[in-house]
Amino acid sequence: MKRKRARVRKPPSTNPPPIHPLQLAESSGWHDGYRAGSEHGYHHGRCAVVLERIPPDQGVKWGLRVLYVQPKEALPYVPIDLGIIDALRGLVAELVVCKPTDDVVGLAASIRPDVVLVLDSIHSLPIEKARAIRELGIRTAVWFTDDPYYTDVTQHIAPCYDYVFTTELTCVAFYRDLGCREVHYLPFGINRAATKPVRVGTPYRSDICFIGTAYWNRVELIDRIADYLAGKNTIIIGYWWDRLKNYEKLKDKIKLGQWMSPEETLNYFSGAKIVINLHRLHDDPTFNQNSRNIPAVSVNPRMFEIGGSGAFQLTDMRGDLYNVYTPGVDLAVYHSPEDLIGKLEHYLTHEEERRAMALNALARTVRDHTYRSRLNQLFGIVASPQTVGG
């Protein structure tokens, strides 16, 4: 009887079968996309933990009847306007919202509010209406949106109000010198219900993101770092970016002339590894009515929006920055185009450091920089003790 010869198994080949170049590219792209999506989801989960640990600020319930006048020009101020309205609804006993084109004086005479609050974007409410409301014995307050860039206009508006609130620290002395007795620095903030980290798809994801109008100092900076940005997954969105000398080099990364809704802006911030913030210069000639050249030292509203999105922020320096965030802890600061390139490269390759700072900024923003907290400060100044509710 013949024995069966044992079948000898060949060891597996160490050389994989050949792969078509197209298959290889698809496989590599799939893995890159999967890794990017996993990283995005991981950071979003950590942001959710931060938000869970910091409950929404309930604030003081003010026993006030408030008449709020929206800005004349809606589009640029939508997130500010909606954030203020949402916060007011939870803070005051009664809220009436109107537009500058409404019969604001008649409405004020009818409902007799404790205070009329005007969000002013280059003279929203005509001066004669503001004066007429004061003559009714009703307290009036204005919150200027664009100081110091339109102070040639606001200098005529501020004296018509009992209380003046400005987003620029250097304008406090300016308005007081005009004879305004109650002038206070009050920056904008975020609406926590609307400005928060969101999970987004690939079209919104980037290494580096900048959203804003191409003022000349911004154009100069982006031109100086154009070669670096061209080699990264960069997104630039806003008006007038065709001013760039290196526009052709970057045009496939630029969404030109697009006005971004708050929701779309939040999507791009949430999807970016790094968001650049570059403040407008006080003497930029583009739509500037600041003939006194009042300097700008306060941070822009975008700083809080970036912080509230859970994104990591690289910003230029403003003198008031240390009063709202801590550089090196909540965000990073650059001082020149060369310094910006170095820090972009550093934070793109040091993910944990970048994410930790973004989480710190998120926590600081929802704790300290919401419209609820800002309006609590405002009513603490405007309201008399008799109007404070339980």
Distance between CA 303 and CA 222 in Å, rounded?
19
Question: Residue 265: which H helix or E strand, with range?
Answer: helix 262-271
Distance between CA 361 and CA 219 in Å, rounded?
27
- Percentage helix, strand, coil for the chain under 3-state DSSP, each rounded to 5: 45, 15, 40
Whether residue 163 contacts residue 141, with contact meaning beta carbons closer than 8 Å, is answered with yes
CB-based contacts of 61, cutoff 8 Å, min separation 6: 91, 92, 93, 389, 390
Report the chain (390 residues): mean pLDDT per 10 consecutive residues. 49 54 53 64 93 83 96 85 95 96 97 97 88 97 96 96 98 98 97 95 97 96 98 97 98 91 95 97 89 97 97 97 97 98 98 97 97 96 59
Whether residue 221 contacts residue 278, with contact meaning beta carbons closer than 8 Å, is answered with yes
Distance between CA 48 and CA 77 in Å, rounded?
27
Domains of the chain and any CATH numbers: 62-189+371-387 (3.40.50.2300), 202-368 (3.40.50.2000)
Q: What is the pLDDT of residues 243-290, one digit of tens each?
A: 999 999 999 999 998 788 899 999 999 999 999 999 999 999 888 899
Distance between CA 184 and CA 166 in Å, rounded?
6
Q: Give residue 263's identity as a one-letter amino acid code.
A: E
Distance between CA 23 and CA 28 in Å, rounded?
9
Least Cα distance to 196 among 333, 58, 370, 373 occurs for 370
Least Cα distance to 190 among 53, 270, 89, 305 occurs for 305
Q: What is the pLDDT of residues 146-170, one digit of tens each?
A: 999 999 999 999 999 999 999 999 9
Q: Tell me, what's the pLDDT at 32?
A: 53
By residue count, the chain amounts to: 390
Q: Is 142 helix (H, G, I), strand (E, B) or coil?
A: strand
